[in-house]
Structure 1
Amino acid sequence: MNKDNTFEKVVSLAKRRGFIYPGSEIYGGLANTYDFGPNGTELKRNIMNLWWQNFVSVREDMFGLDTAILMSPRVWEASGHTQSFTNVLIDCTNCQYRTRADHLIEDALPDLGNVEGLPLEKLDQIIAENKIKCPNCGKIAWTKARHFNQLFETQVGIVTSGKNTVYLRGELAQGMFVNFKQVLDSIHPKLPFGLAQSGKAFRNEITLGKFTFRTLEFDLAEFEYFVKPEEWEKWFEYWKKAMYEFALRLGLNKDHLRWREHSKEELSHYSKRTEDLEYKFPWGYKEMWGLAYRTDFDLKNHMEKSGADLRYIDPQTNEKFIPHVVEPTFGLSRLVTIVMMDSYWEDEVKKRTVLKLVPQLAPYKAAVFPLLANKPELIQKARKIFEDLKRNYRTAWDDRGNIGKRYAAQDEIGTPFCVTVDFQTLEDQTVTLRDRDTTEQVRLKTNKLGDFLKEKLQAQQF
């Protein structure tokens, strides 16, 4: 299937089936904002729960945090974000179209590769030499490239002044770094250990994104893994392998994934080494998740600026040192779209559209249908089965339209199994159980239904 075409179809399905809606749509929308609908919320939550289970719950060296979105502005000054958390902005003087200079070049000259991090003068030179036109008006009338800070500013208190300025967090990491000392003093973890959290981050993006790929606010899940300085490479490779394996467990096709290391010019101000796990979008490979070696940059800066002692004391040697940090970051908002793209399938034989989601990710694990909505005896029996199933699994109820349309709707949202209650059910206590991927149907005793689903769903767990 043409993957370019798949993207447009997934975007349409996402709205039609309640996964993702344009933000503020009844007021004309707000660029780069999206709302997750009922099914999208469940899908994102299921991904998050699996992430937490995989990287936090089952590990004795990982500890969860939930830190504030708003922090002292001194945090962002110490971390370097107020100076260095920037993108490169360029404007068309003819139509006032505004975009990122690196994205303009990459879209116009895809064979050139990634140009993020190049000096402003070099970006201007590439645009001029290649006579890159404005994608909005077609003219060549660009301003000089300049830096633009991505942090959102807001005010605390009732009086607006520079003294009251705070920032919406641009990443989750700083909340974990500033709590490093409190964690050491309260639970006394031993190196190596990690601090993990998930939540919203905010970036004032210049360029309009492609659906949830680039938005003003987004969900992240990440952890800072604190290690001895001499052991960072070992742990970098360890987490690189773990991230890739997790991507495969989510059902992503390995042929759509690759690792790409950042060039020296492209590295963030805090990183000595960064690799992106990229996904093959229709517009090329782009970042899905990131893995960064942040050295002791953050803890060292916060120690200097705050005066707090952020050193770790080795319990064996009593040596004091600032740990180094390896940071895996997982973008959840864009991952919802990626998972939908990789699970999207059109059955040309049976003329149906299916989201072949890993069962653990599916918004609903099963759906229950009474064959006819105007037969009280069928409704009563179906409701009893529905109530029993939903005690253990998120289960959908649908009594609208014909059975074929109900199957089609559940296929499109990725429900693994559908249960139909018909007149035979009233006679012999059996139901029709339909498999999403194969459409095969079997008759099953109602008292065996729960065990059957448990066995099937557990067999497909990772």
Structure 2
Amino acid sequence: MTKTAGAESERPGPDPALFDKIVNLCKRRGIVFGSAEIYGGFRSAYDYGPIGAQLLRNVKDAWWRSMVQMRSDVVGLDASILGPPQVWEASGHLKNFTDPLVDCTVCKTRHRQDQLDDPDLCPNCGSRGTFTEARAFNLMFRTQAGPVEDAGAEVYLRPETAQGMFVNFKNILETSRKRPPFGIAQVGKSFRNEITPGNFVFRTREFEQMELEFFVPPVEAPQWYEYWLAERLRWYADLGIPTHQLRLRAHDADELSHYSSGTSDVEFLFPWGWGELEGIANRGDYDLRQHAEHSGQKLEYFDQASGERYVPHVIEPAAGATRALMAFLLAAFRTEVVNDELRTVLGLHPRLAPYKVAVLPLSRKEPLPGLAGDVLAMCQPHWMCDYDETQAIGRRYRRQDEIGTPLCVTVDFESVDDRCVTVRDRDTMAQDRVPIDALVEHLTGRLDL
């Protein structure tokens, strides 16, 4: 008999206790580690372990599949992380990419003024009226390129992946034979010198973005903006996040960036409340015009059919890969009581699951490991697989449940004679006997990738 513990499988509101459960699970199962822990760690930096690295890769692959592979109007790009000051001057980051900071003169802590519940009250020590005047702090990481440290060698780590797509607009337009509406997609690292990082991997100084710049004729921008709002919300739901844990929130007029005529966030109900997963913005023609002005290059499109020449407008869906990973973990986590024992399950969509199949010989005594090795070799060309031959089979099932493996293949003593294996389902725990010769076909139908 199986029953849900508490209300963890159906959560109408935030569950503050879930945050600690996920953090503990990530450390225990090799999903996320604090960076450089043997040296005491490095604040707001994280390393993704064997399970986490594969999960993060699967999140990015699922995004790329949806945004590039399955579309004929989007191409990919992998632009440089380092960028010269001219790029960031044109984009406005050198002037505008700042946070207002205040320091408490009593406890010496630093805070973002715009994130204080009470602008006069220090949340650390409770002192009132002890903040310094707000100062602008630029969030970009600045470094030097080359052996000489002078102003001529000054470069920046990119704070977003978007600008690489704008400065390559002309190159891609000329080489890809695309025409508006078309998009340029990129997945890559970005860096922001956040003053108040926190909530595990939700806000960090080094993170990965999944961004699309979709270039459209100016008159079509409003309809494409609405299209991408629905499309991006659907992506999260299709990969297993319940719709009641997702929402679209339109920015108020005072929240909009100076270039945006409309921005909405896809938000997820985190344990601490609603938080942004992705922003979708109608950026107009601001970026291409800025780079055209500062570079002296024409960044426009000439429509030969109509004879019209115009600077495309841009719709930008920009998602955080690590935030998406965290949301998928939180949405997939559940506990159940099975035969008076607690079972922890990550009900991840098969496309996201770090391992699709686990091969488990019932015993470490030959010939089972040898046969299990043959089964593993059959599966590995098709899926990422795990292999485990230690401890009782029930404990091994629980380990695979906890890291989200959809299917376990058990090789038992009967398998030697009947050439069949047992396939166990993570979610239902149902077991089916399947001939080894038909195993790949059977698993393919079950995984629905």
Structure 1 consecutive aligned stretches of length 4 or more whose deviation exceeds 4 Å: none
Partner of 1:29 in structure 2?
Answer: 41
- The 8 Å contact of residues 197 and 205 in structure 2, kept in 1 or not, is answered as no
- State the SS of the aligned residue for 1:90: strand
- The 8 Å contact of residues 369 and 420 in structure 1, kept in 2 or not, is answered as yes
Q: In structure 1, which of residues 288, 292, 300 is the aligned counterpart of residue 277 of structure 2?
A: 288
Partner of 1:390 in structure 2?
Answer: 380
Q: In structure 1, which of residues 443, 446, 452 is the aligned counterpart of residue 442 of structure 2?
A: 452
Partner of 2:360 in structure 1?
Answer: 369
Partner of 1:256 in structure 2?
Answer: 245
Shift of 1:145: 2.5
Q: Which amino acid aligns with 1:69?
A: I
Q: In structure 1, which of residues 43, 65, 87 is the aligned counterpart of residue 99 of structure 2?
A: 87
The TM-score, its normalising length taken from structure 2, stands at 0.94
Structure 2: where are the runs of 5+ without partners?
A: 1-6, 9-14
Partner of 2:264 in structure 1?
Answer: 275
Q: In structure 2, which of residues 126, 131, 151 is the aligned counterpart of residue 138 of structure 1?
A: 126
Partner of 1:356 in structure 2?
Answer: 347
Q: How does 1:24-423 map to 2 (within 5 A)?
A: 24-105=36-117, 126-128=118-120, 132=121, 134-140=122-128, 141-349=130-338, 350-373=341-364, 375-423=365-413
- The 8 Å contact of residues 252 and 339 in structure 1, kept in 2 or not, is answered as yes
Shift of 1:344: 0.2
- The 8 Å contact of residues 80 and 269 in structure 1, kept in 2 or not, is answered as no
CA RMSD, 1 decimal: 1.3
Structure 1: where are the runs of 5+ without partners?
A: 106-125
Shift of 1:215: 0.3
Distance 1:32 1:99 in 2: 16
- State the SS of the aligned residue for 1:212: coil
Shift of 1:229: 1.0
Q: Which amino acid aligns with 2:425?
A: D
- State the SS of the aligned residue for 2:133: coil
- The 8 Å contact of residues 84 and 269 in structure 1, kept in 2 or not, is answered as no
**1:186-240 per-position Cα deviation (integer Å, ceiling 9, x unaligned):** 2332111111111000000010311110000111111111111111100000111
Distance 1:17 1:294 in 2: 41
Distance 2:187 2:432 in 1: 41
Distance 2:232 2:61 in 1: 15
Distance 2:291 2:422 in 1: 62
- State the SS of the aligned residue for 1:351: strand
Q: Which amino acid aligns with 2:429?
A: T
- Percent identity over the alignment is 46
Matched, 1:442 2:432: yes
Shift of 1:421: 1.2
Q: Which amino acid aligns with 1:437?
A: D
- State the SS of the aligned residue for 2:259: coil
Shift of 1:164: 1.8
Shift of 1:440: 1.6
Shift of 1:26: 1.2
The TM-score, its normalising length taken from structure 1, stands at 0.91
- The 8 Å contact of residues 75 and 174 in structure 1, kept in 2 or not, is answered as yes
Distance 1:444 1:181 in 2: 55
Count residues in correspondence.
434
**1:33-57 per-position Cα deviation (integer Å, ceiling 9, x unaligned):** 1111111111111111111111111
Partner of 1:112 in structure 2?
Answer: none
- State the SS of the aligned residue for 1:287: strand
Q: Which amino acid aligns with 1:14?
A: C
Shift of 1:163: 2.5
**1:84-112 per-position Cα deviation (integer Å, ceiling 9, x unaligned):** 1112212111121112122222xxxxxxx
- State the SS of the aligned residue for 1:210: coil
Q: Which amino acid aligns with 1:371?
A: L
Partner of 1:109 in structure 2?
Answer: none
Shift of 1:266: 1.7
- State the SS of the aligned residue for 2:367: helix
Partner of 2:419 in structure 1?
Answer: 429
**1:3-55 per-position Cα deviation (integer Å, ceiling 9, x unaligned):** 21111101111111111111121111111111111111111111111111111
Shift of 1:242: 0.5
Shift of 1:144: 2.4
Q: Which amino acid aligns with 1:54?
A: S
Distance 1:32 1:265 in 2: 29
Shift of 1:450: 1.4
Distance 1:315 1:198 in 2: 32
Distance 1:423 1:58 in 2: 44
- The 8 Å contact of residues 215 and 313 in structure 2, kept in 1 or not, is answered as yes
- State the SS of the aligned residue for 1:211: coil
Shift of 1:81: 0.4
Q: Which amino acid aligns with 1:357?
A: L
Distance 1:269 1:148 in 2: 19
